[in-house]
Amino acid sequence: MAESFDLYLASKSPRRRELLTQAGMRFACCEPGEEYEAGGSELDCEGGDPMALAQLRARRKALHAQVVAADVPVLAVDTVVDLAGSELGKAADRDAAAALLARLAGHEHRVHTAHCLFIPADPEHVFEETATSIVLCGSPTAARVTRYLDSDQWRGKAGGYGIQDTQQDFLRLVSGSFDTVVGLHVAAVLRLLQAARART
């Protein structure tokens, strides 16, 4: 029933589900729209500004999500790792994860999480907000990197890492919000919901 939850989460990410659950939000999951153009792959990086790409993908996932109740807001999110203007995608395998971590080592980078929310019954009004955090990757020893790679916690994560992962100790939040780096900024979601409700 529409009144039993606040929104549809158009995402397959368990981390985003956990963040909304921890925030006490009521939601149901639905299948997101395709985030990449036809012929693309989640392991490929499209060219362009990383923040703009995150915003585009979040919009694609939201506007083409498979929902049941047209009067319930739909939320989609996309997170990118931005190293000096270049997107670092998800690692296809262990070697790729090691290469991504090597590129990040010793540098600060930005993490952009784009949120897109709309109500299917009112598709002309789309509500969007992008949160950005800065993360510093230290210069871990080979043994520390190997420990992390052995854990497999890097799988399916932008940039080849999760800042919340228990088997890494070389990534540190410099500015912004921790949940933005994990993959969903709860405060942004609350603001978008408030804006959407103001229209009803």
Judged against a pLDDT cut of 70, whether residue 108 lies above it is answered with: yes
| Total domains in the fold of the chain | 1
Confidence grade of residue 45 (pLDDT, cut at 50, 70, 90): low
Q: Which residues contact 133 (CB under 8 A, 6 or more apart)?
A: 110, 111, 173, 174, 175, 176, 177, 178, 180, 181
Which pTM was predicted? Answer: 0.92
pLDDT, the chain, mean: 92
Give the Cα separation of 126 and 17 in Å (integer).
22
Residues annotated as catalytic are 78
Residue-wise pLDDT for 6-24, tens only, equals 999 999 999 999 999 999 9
Give the Cα separation of 9 and 30 in Å (integer).
6
CATH number (domain holding residue 43)? 3.90.950.10
Give the Cα separation of 106 and 127 in Å (integer).
36
